Amino acid sequence: MKTIFSPRHAGHAGNVELEEGGIVPAYEKPSRAEIIRARINTVSLGPVSEPEEHDLETAAKVHRRDYLDFLPTVWPEWEQSGRSGTAMPFAWPTRGLRGDVPPTSIIAKLGFYSFDAGATFVKGTWDAIKSSHDTALTAANLVRSGERSAFALCRPPGHHAGSNFMGGYCFINNAAVAAQWFLDGGARRVSILDVDYHHGNGTQQIFYARNDVQVLNLHADPMSEYPFFLGHADETGEGEGQGFNHNFPMPAGTSWVQWAAALEEACSLIAGYEPDVLIVSLGVDTFERDPIGRFKLVSDDYPKIGRRIAGLKLPTLFVMEGGYAVEEIGINAVGVLTGFEE
Ligand code: SP5
Ligand code: ZN
């Protein structure tokens, strides 16, 4: 399997994040991508190359233009206003407040375009976001031109980013842009299977009223786990999208047998939808030792995920999402890919 990877991710570094009780170094850090990159070499998964530049026209079909325009302005405006450190929001237009008046100050704009404080900026962040987007589209091109599969080693991740909001370490929804790219290239239907520990709230929101992208999420129950507020089993789509969104919330402590049963159900729904392409939002924060997840998958489970997905016999694009147990992130993420190739 070919991998696309950009060294430009590395400029998105040194961020801090809010955690219960204080401010800590961001869990989403450069070593994540570097360790996966190294593991690809160790197991000889296949060649790794850098992305080609792509414009944001496809992204503008899944994100609002004003949101995309905002992202590159954050760090320059933050600096110009005399601030330093990590740029992050701290006030949001929640229920009862006005979310329809775009503000002018940078700190207000950060809140206007986010659902949490988890999408933070430093100097190199926009360049990393753009390289991650380009990585997804370059890898999608490999699949579009006949490869059975490809791996977009994206960083930062994307599945929490919605049409006009960032959050949860995510800015541009790389998997969603890739899905749109396949459709624009002639695919009639695309499925997105999100196996990250957290619900892909951004991906769900983007495609909720559409029937040309089927979205399936296997994740921790949002009643008690981040990102909360979306990802319940009764969310099945709306309008033309009714019946094309599928959520499989699972409790803390979930291990392989229960998780695999949900995967099995998701796979039969995918088979029934008969998509032309499958996109896997690949998060490995389901791992037993993940510092922010509470599932109990073990390293030997990841190749099994890959094998089951391969059984669908679909052209498949893997897009990297979460996973914070850096020591094992390479073994687990690449384990899915080698399992797929068996
Ligand atoms: C892409 C992705 O996986 N984003 C996840 C963002 C999660 N942000 C909230 C993290 C909350 C961590 N609190 C856990 C405390 C255990 N030390
Ligand atoms: Zn996650």
β partners of residue 279:
192, 317
Of the pLDDT bands very low, low, confident and very high (cuts 50, 70, 90), residue 158 is: very high
Q: Of all protein residues, whose CA lies closest to atom 15 belonging to ligand 1?
A: 292
For the CA of 226, the nearest atom of ligand 1: 9
DSSP letters, 94-111, are -TTS--SS--SSHHHHHH
C-alpha closest to that of 138 among 148, 128, 152: 152
Please indicate whether residue 133 is annotated as part of the active site: no
Read off the amino acid at residue 202.
G
Classify residue 297 by its DSSP letter.
Answer: B
CA 219/CA 246 separation, integer angstroms: 11
CA 182/CA 191 separation, integer angstroms: 11
Return the domain boundaries, the chain: 2-54+126-341
β partners of residue 319:
152, 281
* pTM > 0.80: yes
How many other CB atoms are there within 10 angstroms of residue 28's CB atom? 23
pLDDT by residue (tens digit) across 268-311? 999 999 999 999 999 999 999 999 999 999 999 999 999 999 99
Query: Within its chain, how far is the Cα of 120 from the centroid?
Result: 16
- 9, 54, 159, 160: the catalytic one is 160
CATH number of 2-54+126-341: 3.40.800.20
Farthest-apart Cα atoms in the chain, separation: 55
With H, G, I as helix, E, B as strand and everything else as coil, classify residue 137: helix
Tell me the pLDDT of the chain averaged across its residues: 98
pLDDT by residue (tens digit) across 1-33? 999 999 999 999 999 999 989 999 999 999 999
Q: How, if at all, do strands 149-152 and 190-194 pair?
A: unpaired
